[in-house]
Structure 1
Amino acid sequence: MGIILEDAVKKATDVREKVCEWRSPEELKELLDLELRDQGESESKILKRCRDAIRYSVKTTHPRFFNQLFAGMEPYSLVASFITETLKTSLYTYEMAPVFTLIEDAVLRKMMEMIGWEEGGDGIFNAGGSMSNMYAMNLARYRYYPDIKELGLSAAPQLAVFTSQESHYSISKAAALMGIGTKNVHMVPTDKRGKMIPSALEEQIESAKRKGAVPFLVNATAGTTVFGAFDPIDKIGEICEKHNLWLHVDACWGGGALMSKKHKYLLKGIEKANSVAWNPHKMLMTCLQCSAFLIRDKTHLLQHCHSARASYLFQQDKFYDVSYDIGDKSIQCSRKPDAFKFWLTWKALGTKELGQRVDRAFEMSRYLAEEIKKREGFRLLMEPEYANVCFWYIPPSLRNLPDGPEFCQKLHNVAPVIKERMMKMGSMMVGYQPHGGNANFFRMVVISPQVSRQDLDFVLDEIHNLGKDL
């Protein structure tokens, strides 16, 4: 415990320490001594293994970690994680997890309230946003073709799913896993900011119908992975109502904006959704994993769709109200009490402070964008809508080149080299990617309240220092 608190909490959140002590895979294999042997090791060696695991891991709680859609240290959530791991329970029945069953229900109800479902609904925490999106696809299909549960794919026609070009890849993965097929996932064009174009959606729905397919699900994204774009849920919802389609909103990243009175307008119309995926482990900083899947339906659709009625778990003659045995709603059997991590944080901070955290993330991302516009050699890809800030760094050697193929080709090589150098230095961690014909650019995600303006200034200074000779 002392090692964890000193090395994985105190040092990992200290801006003076490295984000990562980088080693190549072959070097790390030697350092860690990964081989499993017949005989166990001494306590001193095991403690060294613990220290090494922490030492050579990426410190995502570091104030200069900006690489993913999660970051920062949330102390209350960390304490909750310790407790749930220590108690080592599972959420399939009330008798196994009486406290956590009630806590999950309370958290889901409050999240539904934030979405705007005044009459409530149903939901479940699960192993990640990708699984939440799969739940949505499975439930939507079951609502239209319930016989598919027993008869299989022969009980359904050729189905069509609609999602934006900027949506998460898990939509296509879910279609592949469920036998719908990736070619039956229709990618709807987006505007220059990465938002789904409603008129294009309706055209694709009508086109699919003419070709004999049966549209059944539209996935709208609230906070795309790269640009942080929010699809116009309100207009998409109207189209879904018109064509009797299930509207799912992937708000895994952008759902946090619902906590902010100032910024929840970004999700206008989300109350029309049939289902929502929302990951508190992202903007709201809960420890991984913490992913909620919520549905507006109150007819026990989750239960009917996934129930297998295992007699050794879900006996109907128990001494308590068996409606609290929620495991049969889930695809999983064992399920961790992840809601506790969010509940304890929410109890400690309150809705108001969680909203202020979201507001601060917006303010900090705007500060970063303004600094980028002021600095020579930096170019903003677009004004940020959320906490994603996308930009290029142009070394002095390229600044006199006109925009064109040669410039783009050379610029494309800049970000990967700077990323390599920052990883080996261990000074910070920022992601990059190409996108839509654009040369590689940096994508910084500003989330953690532990991040200061000085940290953001440092990042821009460090990118220049690491790349000015290219």
Structure 2
Amino acid sequence: MPNTSNYKLNAAIANSKYTDLLPYKDGSTTNEFLQRIVDILLDFVKATNDRKEKILDFHHPEEMQNLLDLKVPEKGVTLQQLVNDCATTLKYQVKTGHPHFFNQLSCGLDLVSMAGEWLTATANTNMFTYEIAPVFILMETVVMTHMREIIGCNWKNGDSILAPGGSISNLYAFLAARHKMFPNYKEKGIATIQGQLVMFTSDQSHYSVKSCASVCGLGTDNCLMVPSDVNGRMIPSELEKLIVERKAKGHIPFFVCCTSGTTVLGSFDPINEIADICETYGLWLHVDAAWGGGLLLSKKYRHPRLSGVERAHSVTWNPHKLQGALLQCSTIHFKENGLLLSCNSMSADYLFMQDKLYDIQYDTGDKVIQCGRHNDIFKLWLQWRAKGDEGFEKHMDRLMELSEYMVKRIKEQPDKFYLIMEPEMVNVSFWYIPTRLRKMPHTSAREAELGKICPILKARMMESGTLMVGYQPDDRRPNFFRNIISSAAVKESDVDFLLAEMDRLGHNL
């Protein structure tokens, strides 16, 4: 990444201030200032896709504070200083689109989606009414309808909205489920419910599901964690057992969250079996496919992972994860139309007037709890225009094939790597084995030692700047590595590099 000296403004305007830009002055200074910013962005894009570049230039927080000038001044700085600030910011930023960044569920830098985000920022439009965002509102309607059709043919006439993250998407599902069972709750509150509401989710589910119980007044003790099997999938018989137990106590079971693509292991709960139980006991079925939803686009990998998803009442699906849309881009879908509006509408007449000159069904702001919404649709719409369903399908298949390749390479090096389980998705969970532990029998004692290796090896990765792979423990194991392949930039050679680089950095631990 070039240093700030590569982005010099013309000497005549370098010491200019923001008041020399539009709308205060004419456009010549504005043009050059923005061109330098674009130069910085394009250089970052190039560096991100250069395998010879480091992923990051790591510094501890105290060191970084000394490298950066972050203070807010009393008087504004020059345009040249603003350009330098932009270049410095990206110089020390992690390149999450780098082919050797395997750290998060959302990896990669899709350039079409990025272009959409640039346009979105320039338009600077709130998404609460058709009046101020006509094109974007129509795009959202078209794309959300298409996503529902992919979930199931009986979903076309449902409803959807883009939310600020999968956690809030799950919250919308919770609120709609409670509203469906107790429509007077919105006005009358908790007194409407004669009994204790309880909800159920897998012990491997995202913490946001449990958070719903906290922020909505159930209490986390009333979010029951259903045991999972050795592969991280919810056990349906355990779910039914817990439902029966709670009903016997006079509690009111109302909501089940089924996870399609768990955060750590990438596991898929058996939707059809869980749907049978929900239908038997009259519970709302929500599928949290924030992570795994992209596989709905793959004929090869959709089944059996997401078989039965069309039986759910609501589905969370985050295109900013497996599909590579830029952060953030999270959707929540409902089979039944009208629930979002009925549940969340406050009918604020200073925003959502009923006597506008157009069809007010396109005013989406009253459907949501946040009122104003960031425009997250254009980058997804533009990306989908570029790829089509076919392109997304190829992308899903390629990511899965690369993960299968990684599993194959790990199995070919059993002295150096231990595969924890056959993955259902792109989450490949494994231990790296340093030289001193390679002849040690694989017992719980060895696993404990391998767990201690993970944070040390991760620190070496970050200090070298050449590789980033995440690690974590779970309820069955100490720390282990969880590799994610969700970037279109990754090739088989990058997987080979990953394994070789872990060995180079960690063999003597």
Q: Same fold (TM over 0.5)?
A: yes
What residue is the counterpart of 2:177 in the other structure?
140
Distance 1:403 1:9 in 2: 43
Deviates more, 1:374-383 or 1:151-160: 151-160
Deviation at 1:197, TM superposition (A): 0.8
- The one of 34, 43, 52 aligned to 1:16: 52
When structure 1 is superposed on structure 2, of 335-344 and 239-248 the one drifting more is 335-344
For residue 110 of structure 1, what is the aligned residue in structure 2? Answer: 146
Deviates more, 1:332-341 or 1:94-103: 332-341
Please state if 1:121 is matched with 2:119.
no
In 2, the alpha carbon distance for the partners of 1:364 and 1:403 equals 27
Secondary structure at the residue paired with 1:141? helix
Counterpart in the other structure of 2:330: 291
Matches of 1:191 and 1:169, distance apart in 2: 18
Equivalent-residue separation in structure 2 for 1:58 and 1:427 (angstroms): 11
The residue aligned with 2:449 is 410
SS in 1 for 2:198: strand
| 8 Å Cα contact 1:117/1:296 also seen in 2 | no
Match runs of 1:159-308 below 5 Å: 159-265=197-303, 266-298=305-337, 300-308=338-346
**TM-score, scaled to structure 1:** 0.98
Secondary structure of the equivalent of 1:355? helix
Q: CA RMSD in A?
A: 1.1
Letter in 2 for 1:381: I
What does the per-residue CA deviation read over 1:351-374, in whole Å, with 9 as the maximum and x for residues that have no partner? 011001000001000000110011
Distance 1:214 1:251 in 2: 25
Structure 2 counterpart of 1:454: 493
Q: In the superposition, relative to structure 1, how do residues 405 and 191 fare at CA in structure 2: closer, same or farther (>3 Å)?
A: closer
For 2:38, the equivalent position in structure 1 comes to 2
Structure 2 CA distance for aligned equivalents of residues 154 and 417 of structure 1? 53
Aligned equivalents of 1:218 and 1:192: distance in 2? 21
Q: Does 1:357 align with 2:395?
A: yes
Q: Does 1:321 align with 2:359?
A: yes
Q: How many residue pairs get matched?
A: 469
Could you tell me how far 1:350 is from its partner in structure 2? 0.7
The answer on whether the counterparts of 1:327 and 1:333 sit within 8 Å (CA) in structure 2 is yes
Q: Deviations over 1:371-401 (max 9, x none)?
A: 0011121010001111110000111101222
Is 1:73 paired with 2:109? yes
- Give secondary structure in 1 for the equivalent of 2:401: helix
The answer to whether 1:35 aligns with 2:35 is no
Q: Distance in 1 between matches of 2:467 and 2:115?
A: 26
TM-score for both structures, normalised by structure 2: 0.91
| Residue-by-residue CA offset, 1:396-419 (whole Å, 9 max, x unaligned) | 101222333532332221011110
The alpha-carbon deviation at position 30 of structure 1 amounts to 1.4
Q: 1:251–1:279: 8 Å Cα contact kept in structure 2?
A: yes
SS of corresponding position for 2:482: strand
Q: Which has the larger radius of gyration?
A: 2
Q: Which amino acid aligns with 1:336?
A: H
**Matched residue of 2:150: which SS?**
helix
Letter in 2 for 1:293: I
Q: Take 1:314 and 1:437, find their aligned partners in 2: how far apart are those partners?
A: 51
% identity of equivalent residues: 47
Question: SS of the residue aligned with 2:429?
Answer: strand
**Please, which moves more after superposition, 409-418 or 99-108?**
409-418
The CA distance in 1 between the partners of 2:189 and 2:39, in whole Å, is: 51
Q: SS state of the match for residue 438, structure 1?
A: coil
Compare 281-290 and 441-450 and name the one that shifted more.
441-450
> Which amino acid letter does the alignment assign opposite residue 448 of structure 1?
S
Residue of structure 2 in register with 1:57 after alignment: 93
Counterpart for residue 26 of structure 2: none
Tell me if structure 2 keeps the 8 A contact 1:7–1:55: no
Task: Give the partner amino acid of 2:403.
Answer: S
**3-state DSSP of counterpart to 2:479:** strand
1:150 pairs with one of 173, 184, 187 = 187
In 1, Cα distance between the equivalents of 2:191 and 2:435? 62
Instruction: Give the drift of 1:7.
Output: 3.3
Q: Which range moves more in the overlay, 403-412 or 173-182?
A: 403-412
Offset of residue 285 of structure 1: 0.2
SS of the aligned residue for 1:228 comes to coil
Structure 1 residue 35: Cα displacement? 1.3
Give, in angstroms, the shift of residue 3 of structure 1.
3.5
- Which 5+ residue runs of structure 2 have no aligned equivalent? 1-36
State how far apart, in whole Å, the 1-side matches of 2:77 and 2:444 are: 58
The answer to whether the 8 A contact 1:3-1:51 is kept is no
| Partner Cα separation in structure 1 for residue 358 and residue 190 of structure 2 | 38
Is 1:45–2:84 an aligned residue pair?
Answer: no
Within 5 Å, give how 1:367-406 maps onto structure 2. Answer: 367-375=405-413, 376-406=415-445
Asked if structure 2 preserves the Cα contact closer than 8 Å seen for 1:142 and 1:305, the reply is: yes
Structure 1: tracts of 5 or more residues without a match: none
Cα distance, 1:108 vs. partner?
0.6
The DSSP-based 3-state class of the residue aligned with 1:249 is: strand
Matched residue, 2:7: none
Structure 1 window deviating more from structure 2 (26-35 vs 418-427): it is 26-35
C-alpha distance in 2 between matches for 1:81 and 1:403: 48
CA distance in 1, matches of 2:44, 2:241: 52
In the other structure, the counterpart of 2:131 is: 95
1:120, distance to aligned residue in structure 2 (A) = 2.5
